[in-house]
Structure 1
Amino acid sequence: MTYCISGRPLRRLLVASLTLTAPLALAACATAPAATLADAAPATAQAAAEPAPLSQLVSAVDIPYESFTLDNGLTTIVHTDRKSPLVGVTIYYRVGSKHEPRGRTGFAHLFEHLMFGGSENVPNFDIPLEAAGSTSTNGSTWYDRTNYVETVPTGALDLALFMESDRMGHLLGAVSQDKLDKQRGVVQNEKRQGDNQPYGLVEYKIADGLLPVGHPYRHSTIGSMADLDAAGLADVRKWFIDNYGPNNVVLALAGDIDVATARPKVEKWFGDIPRGPDVTQLAAEPVTLDAPVRETMTDQVPVTRIYRAWTTPSLTQPDSVPLTVGMYVLGGLASSRLDNALVRGEELAVSASASLQQHEQIGFAQIQMDVKPGVDAALAETRFNQVIDELIANGPTEDELTRAATDIVSSQIGALEVVGGFSGKGATLAEGKLYAGNPANYKVELQQLASLTPADVQAAMQRWLTRPSYTLQVVPGERTEDGATMGGWGDEGSVPPPEPDAKQPVPEIAEGPEREFPPVAPVGKLTFPEVKHAALSNGIGVSLARRTAIPKLSMSITFDAGTAADGGDKAGTQSMMMSLLDEGTATRSALDIAIEQERLGAAIGTGTGTDSSSVSMTALTANLAPSLELLADIVRNPAFVPEEVERVKGQRLAAIAQQKASPIGLAQRALGPLIYGDAHPYGSVGAAGETSVIEALTPEMLAAEHGKWLRPDMASITVVGDVTMEELLPALESAFGDWQAPATPQPEKNFAVPVLPPSPRLVVIDRPNSPQSVLMFGRVLPLLGTDKGQEALELANEVIGNGFLSRLNSDLREDKGWTYGIRSSLSGVQGPRAFTVITPVQSDRTADSIALILKNMKEFPAEKGVDETEMQRVTDGNIRNLPNSFQTNGQVLGALLDNQELGRPDDYYVNLPDIYRGIDAGQIDMAAAEYLQPDRMVILVVGDRSQIDEQLKGLDMPIEYMDASEL
């Protein structure tokens, strides 16, 4: 668990981020007997061929709430949702990076890190919450606000409120120089991690190009290295006193709670915290450039990327919604103008997009294009600008407007599933209150959306996008900019940098009275949706978990294939075939498919995992029948048109180049062949594939791959959502029932190939100009994913590296500050499992980090077995947070698919609490001793050899070197 976001995610739509997680619809847990087609009733409302009208969809978006304000100014919003015994706790402070003074950029975000380091009565913020079953324990900082979120079992609500109130009212006595220094190191490694990516410095350049020095939105939320070095304890104290008073806070409680219960709890825990100064609202208007500005930057990137950007109005200004729709039509829809003209049409680009980043006082419109290799960039840019100008001049069509609006509203309906976290209903209400003074501001936006005309969109785009723009061209070459010096105030060249933190002591502060932790109530038995089974007339199995939280469903049609079907010499073939399914069928073009999805409010995607290939869909229940008809055509009748194949091949080759430009991408491509061997089905470079394999593929080869692996006798259908089996089965029968298997035998994957014998190796890939090294450790275990009884091993992995409180993360991040995060994992495959560890670390600590990781792994359990706190966290804590794992249709669908792939029963997760309760410390230690030791691991390092070679020699290990071009 990482608890900090640097402020880089985009606020793209009308409310808070639309990443979907959601509450679980409670139902009796059971596995129902299989139905047959004859048992099914005729389809009802789903038989309609026309999509549901936009007005009907908008009316489905509703988040009722009540609110109250304490005498100290703290505003609380309460939304009741009894579908699951969970409460999302969401706190927004009205302060962000725009409030930082010169010389202290990045401080709001650094302070957010410190808020997790413990308060006067809470030594560690994460341990009690995880032990109580909290998930999504996190925080983030952006220009306008800082927020903190956790979703807890209902019985742990008092604990969450106690802890949030303790750091709001009782923080400073617990903040030390040591804590500040450690979190400063973590934040600086977060900055290095972002800067180290291809195009990682673009954010700084665009902000510098659009806004003058001193504008509150100019400097980045992550800040500059010099400013982070300068932050001291006096700054911590001033920031807290000036900004973190309850009168600057919106608290949202959403879920299994009501206002009558919430009010006395909030008064108890927060009522005695005194008001503080009101946060000052700064002047921060959009800026119109005097003339167009153009810059070129070289970077270690595979293709030329061109950006055009403008500042735009605040998210509450009337032009915000029409601009959002205009950017969707231009480059947000699958059928966008840019895609149609530049990617599908004239094939001048491998990708193109447009987005609107919205903030309280300003917005950023950004349009970008990746030029297709071999195409003249100037020619591509001319056409790029023509497409933009055409839409600005003439506006969208009525159909484009309707499709964009339907797509937006469908996403909003999906967002209703979740109560907490960054994207839940609590965040939607809190942001409405914070930015618009109205928790229901989302309704204002949706009503405006439903009434928009093409002329409204045209007028808004003309008002804002005919102004001079900032254009940035990033071209392949040597990186000449230094990210460490970027992101700050902007006058660093003319004003001396701030003095580094001199670690001057600050006066002692009187701590408040001691406060006791409230008890945590027990959790009830986990409930899980009832799973029903049926079969179509051609034998395709159907599984359904009905959930009625929202009028949508999620489904997957899954085939026994995956990247393992490629073998060692066909890497990328299966995923290329899957990616072409929605690029045209016998009766629909790629554009037809994109447009139809948008009209239906559906989203269809293809995926290639290790052991299976799938086509997934989310659809509005009202549009189920036409959505299924489209899905079936994509699955059954791909055309593999030569022109489309060549276009997608070009995009895939560009994606491989992008992967190779990323340090993490290089490590991920290299590890499989190193630990499995390139002849093993799991030993390829991954789903992206090999360049030579992709280049050689023909339409005929892809059609043969489709016929070989995507057949009804190797398929299963799994559905979760608002539909009954009586409604679903006839609709599926109509779409898939007449699909017959070929006479040829089912293909098989070759798992007879032995894996490489595990042996220690240190392999280095040189990546010049890297401020961090990516470390990846891996070995294959003598276990299959389908072997039973591996839960103790999973818990041992949580202890060592899978989680924020794991030993590796606690040591390398929280204690040493050498990384932004480290994670260990056990691969979820049917065949031989792999144990891996991955982390980016600052370059000057590459060898030290390797040695420390090895030390931690060797000590578990030889010198340090699982302790009582760890044991409670990974057993009882996991039991308590299981309901959080099944909040959304997508989460339940993923659980059902995992059960199917690994041969587990439908009620596996219902029985998991009893399995955890039956595991003792000795079993966890034994699993760690047998499977998680580092003595036979491959250690892969991707970094700048000029900075790391001397360090690595000190490890006294033989070193091999691998050329990145070989991958």
Structure 2
Amino acid sequence: MANRAFLAAGTALAALTTPVLAQNTSISAPAAAPAPVSQLVKAVDIPYQQFTLKNGLRVIVHTDRKAPIVAVSVWYDVGSKHEPQGKTGFAHLFEHLMFNGSENAPGDFFEPLQQVGATDFNGTTYYDRTNYFETVPTAALERALFLESDRMGYLTGAITQSVLDEQRGVVQNEKRQGDNQPYGLLRYKATEGLFPATHPYGHTTIGSMVDLDQASLGDVKNWFKSHYGPNNAVLVLAGDVDVATARPLVEKYFGAIAAGPKSVAPPAPIPASLPGPAKEVMKDRVAATLIMKEWAVPGLNDKDSASLEVAAGVLGGLASSRLSNVLVKGEKLAVQAQAEYESFAQVGTFQITTLVRPGVDPATVSARIDQLVADFVRNGPTADEVNRYVTSTVSGRIDGLEAVGGFGGKAVALAEGALYSNDPGFYKKQLAALAAQTPATVKAAAAKWLTRPSYQLDIVNGDRDAYAESKAVPPAKVVEAPEQAPKGTRGPIPAVGEVAGLSFPTVERTRLSNGIELVYANRAVVPITQAVLSFDAGVAADVADKLGTQQLTLAMMDEGTKRLNSIQIAEARERLGASISSGSSADRTTLSLRVPSANLAAGADLWADIARTPAFPESELGRVKSQQLAEIAQELTSPQGLVQRVLPKLVSPGSPYAKAQGSGDAAAVQGLSRAELIAFQQAWLRPDKAKIFVVSDRPLAEIRQVMEARFGDWKPAGVAGAKSFPPASSSVSPRIVLVDRPASPQSMIAAGVQTGLKGTDDLLPLQVGNDALGGSFLGRLNMDLREDKHWSYGVRGSFSRNAEAAPYVLYAPVQADQTGPAVAALRSDVTQYLTSKPMTQEEFARAINAGTRSLSGNFETSEDVLSAMQANDLYKRPDDYYATITQKYRALTLPQVTAATRAAIDPAKFVWVVVGEAAKVKPQLDSLGLPVEVIPAAAVAGTPPATAAK
């Protein structure tokens, strides 16, 4: 389900890295000559053809022969805006029900999709639509069309009371999982505050617990019959397909489905209007006060839509946005500030969200936001601000359209245009409207809509307010006749033809004058260059008694260079449509560049300047520290954040990998000096520890010339850092560490065990073996806790693959009242898999089929290729590893896979971490036969100092 949230589940506060330096600086930005926006817009083109079946199904076909794959995307004109009162959450519930099999394809839909090697397969629901999508090998297109048509036309016979109860439970745990996050109740309150309850957009897509509980089998079947006919849908096929091939297949599988009623969105005041300004305050266990101001504005088909998008970008979407420059960097009133325009088919929302800096009066911040909005309404943006936002946005969309499907590829662009605007090519009109924006048009839209009454919600720290969703009533008991398997009438699911092998691009290696290795692959699908400067550092290189040093060093890298201050860096990046970001894994620290190839030279100049000459300005260090301290505090309120701080220390004691404890130690971060950051940078982020990875449409000779000019004369200074990996500890004692987090409707369960393996070992047999345990949706852990018991929204287990270790870890968020039974079930499932109930031949065949048939889809985009190049280098595999992996898969045997899995995982040695409400959870854990240690959430990491950084 698509869901909007200021802080995503388990995600730490985003670090904003463009501060203001002293006034009257004499530093000037370099003269760059970026490609004009008009040139970038011309690069966005998705040619298509379309036809409509007699039953009303609209079909759109886009041909893209870059890989032997086809994206299949079905969009239904039904979302939460179509739900009457008392039926909220039905559209989303049906999204789940339609994955549970149909009359001619009984059982879970993930089974036949995984068998064919489908990638990017999922479904989502939002206010305006429900969609289902998968990218399949060309040879599996007929099977995908059979499956999609069967759930469109032959579903209701497969919906039984047990299926309804199962998926109702899953959806309710998805809801609990969202509610369990810091600020997790924001969207409920904000939706109620901005729209009346009777408004089509007046309730959230996830719906009401009570409505979900009361949904009867008759209700849901009638809902399906009213909304899921072919005349209420758009089918997009994008990829290795053409109309001549597609039309007879679509006619064959969809043509006999009878038309149904056409969804009509209820009439609505568009946009809704508040009678006057409104404000509410909500209490929650949060690390920082959140202030959200929101306006109801027009939707995506309105003439003001592009202007409002630019207004949000200039105010709070760019790295150099006004809210960030003033509130975060200049006046230091907030640790994060952003603005967003979200456009729906009939309405839109304009939202400003700010996290108040600890110690600052929220009223002061609120008043300052109002002043900044008023100034923007009065004076509008500058031409440069408009251009920077449009250039950045168009660049990002070019990059995103490399994929044919998934959550944001070309099929999505065509489907959205057709469904929301009756024009598959509407994306072109949107880009043209963006490119045509001027300061005057943006100012006019802001003056028209941001002077209307707004709704404000403040979320402050305190015991969470009681809310209706925590008081769900049990569903009414239903007496139903014995369930029978649906009887199919369409014959068997189509077989899959010969799946074409992966054509992985040739990887070439060369060196710069100073020895830096350049690893390159050519991809000419989109005019974008992606590059990564990768250093042999990572979390394992963090300073043991000053955890968080690496993160603070990276956060300061683009706070200014010897030539540029941070504002100039941000603005130059935006003018080029470039993205420059830093990151780290357990073993590597990276500085990445994505830029339109037309702007490669100027983008590489900026990238190299940040990498080679960071200034670490003392004037900005205090502010950046305060942001990292806020991030640490946020992690102590998040279930995932708490787990990530506790589990590595238990699983890998004494290992450098145990340093992976969130954003570091608060006391250590507070005490770090500029000199210590420079020392870390010089020891680890240096040319003799660097490799450059590039995927581009430009030839290697040009790429090497660009890199040589920027990095070829870079020399290391001082002594290089060194990592030491002692033998893995064998003294880890199995136990449960219960982190007490009161008022948690869910418990986050995590566990880990050392395997004695390294990431450089051949783990392919183990990855195949894990597919049936925790590595896929159909894995036994997920199927047990989600599909059979419906205690969880999803469970996963995997080998955490680092260069020098590969522990097995699993994660399972479960409803609080089933925490103990869930741990018992997980222990039983793992033990049985490794002893009495090993992988079956059917599970083995499915894993091999999925692994080999999904290769073309897995490496569809340049980003996929770039990641694979880095992984091959880290794990010391040959550059053609993926070009030859099919033979490796086919050489495996079931006994070999079973033996490898049993040898790696000892079910008796797992260490468990549970984050939940101790008063409710501990009694459930005490009967499991493991010692239980209870610690408060506040004790997980160092407590931030009482005074915020200056």
> TM-score of the superposition, structure 1-length normalised?
0.93
RMSD value over aligned CA atoms? Answer: 1.8
User: Who is 1:69 aligned against?
Assistant: 52
Counterpart of 1:272 (choices 251, 256, 259) is 256
Does residue 356 of structure 1 match 2:330?
no
| Matched position secondary structure for 2:497 | coil
Does residue 373 of structure 1 match 2:361?
no
Distance in 2 of aligned mates of 1:716 and 1:584: 23
CA contact (8 A) 2:748 2:812 kept: yes
Counterpart of 2:658 (choices 661, 683, 690) is 683
For each residue in 1:64-121, what CA deviation from the matched residue of structure 2 results, as whole angstroms up to 9, or x when unmatched? 0000000000000000000000000000000111111211111111111000111011
| Matched position secondary structure for 2:755 | strand
| Matched position secondary structure for 1:782 | coil
374 and 8 in structure 1: CA distance in 2 versus 1, 3 angstrom threshold: closer
**Partner AA of 1:765 in structure 2:** V
Q: Give runs of aligned pairs for residues 421-820 of structure 1, distance below 5 A.
A: 421-482=406-467, 484=469, 500-505=475-480, 513-677=489-653, 679-742=654-717, 744-752=718-726, 754-755=728-729, 757-787=731-761, 789-820=762-793
Counterpart of 1:395 (choices 374, 377, 380) is 380
User: Who is 2:247 aligned against?
Assistant: 263
CA contact (8 A) 1:290 1:468 kept: yes
Q: Which moved more, 1:457-466 or 1:280-289?
A: 280-289
**Partner AA of 2:47 in structure 1:** P
Shift of 1:687: 4.9
CA contact (8 A) 1:432 1:438 kept: yes
**Partner AA of 2:806 in structure 1:** R
Q: Which moved more, 1:751-760 or 1:82-91?
A: 751-760
Shift of 1:755: 3.2
For each residue in 1:306-336, what CA deviation from the matched residue of structure 2 results, as whole angstroms up to 9, or x when unmatched? 0000111111111111100100000000000
Distance in 1 of aligned mates of 2:166 and 2:819: 18
Does residue 415 of structure 1 match 2:400?
yes
| Matched position secondary structure for 1:909 | coil
Distance in 1 of aligned mates of 2:57 and 2:799: 44
Does residue 889 of structure 1 match 2:895?
no
386 and 638 in structure 1: CA distance in 2 versus 1, 3 angstrom threshold: same
| Matched position secondary structure for 2:757 | strand
For each residue in 1:684-737, what CA deviation from the matched residue of structure 2 results, as whole angstroms up to 9, or x when unmatched? 243511111111111111011111111111110000021111111111111111
Does residue 298 of structure 1 match 2:283?
yes
Counterpart of 1:122 (choices 75, 94, 105) is 105
Distance in 1 of aligned mates of 2:603 and 2:892: 45
CA contact (8 A) 1:65 1:80 kept: yes
CA contact (8 A) 2:632 2:662 kept: no
363 and 738 in structure 1: CA distance in 2 versus 1, 3 angstrom threshold: same
Q: Which moved more, 1:413-422 or 1:70-79?
A: 413-422
User: Who is 2:131 aligned against?
Assistant: 147
593 and 337 in structure 1: CA distance in 2 versus 1, 3 angstrom threshold: same
Shift of 1:212: 1.0
Distance in 2 of aligned mates of 1:482 and 1:835: 38
| Matched position secondary structure for 2:72 | strand
**Number of aligned residues:** 915
Counterpart of 2:218 (choices 234, 240, 251) is 234
User: Who is 2:896 aligned against?
Assistant: 923
Does residue 947 of structure 1 match 2:932?
no
Does residue 112 of structure 1 match 2:92?
no
CA contact (8 A) 1:322 1:449 kept: yes
768 and 48 in structure 1: CA distance in 2 versus 1, 3 angstrom threshold: closer
Counterpart of 2:308 (choices 323, 336, 340) is 323
**Partner AA of 2:640 in structure 1:** I
Shift of 1:420: 1.0
Distance in 2 of aligned mates of 1:214 and 1:675: 51
**Partner AA of 1:627 in structure 2:** G
For each residue in 1:848-901, what CA deviation from the matched residue of structure 2 results, as whole angstroms up to 9, or x when unmatched? 000000001001131112112211121122100011111111111110001111
Counterpart of 1:192 (choices 163, 173, 176) is 176
| Matched position secondary structure for 1:734 | helix
CA contact (8 A) 1:857 1:932 kept: no
Distance in 2 of aligned mates of 1:504 and 1:467: 52
| Matched position secondary structure for 1:580 | helix
User: Who is 2:19 aligned against?
Assistant: none
Distance in 2 of aligned mates of 1:343 and 1:869: 56
For each residue in 1:446-472, what CA deviation from the matched residue of structure 2 results, as whole angstroms up to 9, or x when unmatched? 111111111100111111111010011
259 and 507 in structure 1: CA distance in 2 versus 1, 3 angstrom threshold: farther
| Matched position secondary structure for 1:556 | strand
Shift of 1:298: 0.8
Does residue 86 of structure 1 match 2:79?
no
Distance in 2 of aligned mates of 1:145 and 1:352: 30
For each residue in 1:536-582, what CA deviation from the matched residue of structure 2 results, as whole angstroms up to 9, or x when unmatched? 11111101101000000111001111111125312111121112111
CA contact (8 A) 1:144 1:360 kept: yes
Counterpart of 2:40 (choices 57, 60, 65) is 57
User: Who is 2:272 aligned against?
Assistant: 287
Distance in 1 of aligned mates of 2:584 and 2:668: 16
| Matched position secondary structure for 2:907 | coil
**Partner AA of 2:733 in structure 1:** S
CA contact (8 A) 1:822 1:837 kept: yes
Shift of 1:595: 0.4
User: Who is 1:347 aligned against?
Assistant: 332
| Matched position secondary structure for 1:801 | helix
485 and 850 in structure 1: CA distance in 2 versus 1, 3 angstrom threshold: closer
Distance in 2 of aligned mates of 1:222 and 1:590: 40
User: Who is 2:829 aligned against?
Assistant: 856
Distance in 2 of aligned mates of 1:565 and 1:435: 50
| Matched position secondary structure for 1:833 | coil
Distance in 1 of aligned mates of 2:340 and 2:481: 45
**Partner AA of 1:621 in structure 2:** S
For each residue in 1:392-420, what CA deviation from the matched residue of structure 2 results, as whole angstroms up to 9, or x when unmatched? 22111000000000011101111220101
Does residue 171 of structure 1 match 2:155?
yes
CA contact (8 A) 2:753 2:809 kept: yes
799 and 506 in structure 1: CA distance in 2 versus 1, 3 angstrom threshold: closer
Shift of 1:7: 4.0
Distance in 2 of aligned mates of 1:717 and 1:56: 28
Distance in 1 of aligned mates of 2:753 and 2:217: 44
User: Who is 2:391 aligned against?
Assistant: 406
67 and 92 in structure 1: CA distance in 2 versus 1, 3 angstrom threshold: same
Distance in 2 of aligned mates of 1:923 and 1:693: 47
For each residue in 1:131-153, what CA deviation from the matched residue of structure 2 results, as whole angstroms up to 9, or x when unmatched? 01111221011111100000000
Shift of 1:499: 8.8
Q: Which moved more, 1:700-709 or 1:597-606?
A: 700-709
Structure 2: 5+ residue runs without aligned partners?
9-29, 942-950
User: Who is 1:933 aligned against?
Assistant: 906
756 and 705 in structure 1: CA distance in 2 versus 1, 3 angstrom threshold: farther
**Partner AA of 2:886 in structure 1:** P
Distance in 2 of aligned mates of 1:221 and 1:515: 36
User: Between the two proteins, what is the percent identity of the paired residues?
Assistant: 47
Q: Which moved more, 1:882-891 or 1:477-486?
A: 477-486
Q: Give runs of aligned pairs for residues 832-847 of structure 1, distance below 5 A.
A: 832-847=805-820
Shift of 1:48: 10
Distance in 2 of aligned mates of 1:262 and 1:255: 11
CA contact (8 A) 2:501 2:856 kept: no
Does residue 825 of structure 1 match 2:798?
yes
